[in-house]
Structure 1
Amino acid sequence: MGVVWLIIVGAAAGFFATRIMKVEADVITTVVIGIVGAVIGGLVIRFLIAVTGLFAGLVGAVLGALAVLWMWKTYIQRK
C-alpha cells in the first residue's frame, strides 16, 4: 500500500510542484513528474529523517517533484 499511496500523492505533488515553479506541462508530464518525485522524495525523506506518517510523505513528494521539475526544466525542456 505504501507505493500505491506514493503514486496517488505523487499526482497531487506534481500538480503543486508545477504551480510552485510556474511550469506549463501537460497532464501526463505533471503526473509522471509528481510520481517520480513522490517515490524519490518520499523514500529519501523517510529514510534520512525516519519520519513516518502521511504528512512526511506529502512533504517528501512535493520536494522530490520540485527537484525533478528543476532537472526537467534545466536539462530536458529547451525553449
Structure 2
Amino acid sequence: MSLVFLVIIGAAAGFIATRILGMETSIVTTISIGILGALLGGLVLRFLLVLTGMAAGLVGATLGALVLIGLWHWISRR
C-alpha cells in the first residue's frame, strides 16, 4: 500500500470513526487517528484475514481508527 493511499484511506477512516463514535476532534487529530488506525487495522487484517482490495483496507483502517479513538478517549478521561 503506497503512502499516499494510506493517507487518503486513513483520513477517510478517521472521519468515519469519529462520526460513528460522535466525537468532535480537529482535522489533524482525525487524520492522525485515521492513519494510525489504518496501520493497525491493516496489520491486523493481513495477519488474520486473507482479503485484498480497497474495501478490505477501508474496513481495516476504520476498525483500527475506532480502537485508537476508544483508547484515546479512555486515556483522556483519566
- TM-score relative to the length of structure 1: 0.90
Corresponding residue number in structure 2 for 1:17: 17
Greater displacement, 26-35 / 5-14: 5-14
Q: Which runs of 4+ in 1 moved over 4 A?
A: none
Equivalent positions of 1:1-79 (< 5 A) are 2-4=1-3, 5-75=5-75, 77-78=76-77
CA–CA distance in structure 2, aligned partners of residues 50 and 3 of structure 1: 19
Cα distance, 1:7 vs. partner?
2.2
Q: Kindly provide the amino acid, as one letter, of the partner of residue 6 in structure 1.
A: L
Residue ranges of structure 1 left out of the alignment (5+ in a row): none
Cα distance, 1:38 vs. partner?
0.6
Q: CA RMSD in A?
A: 1.4
Paired residues in the alignment total 77
Sequence identity, in percent?
53
CA–CA distance in structure 2, aligned partners of residues 14 and 3 of structure 1: 18
- TM-score relative to the length of structure 2: 0.91
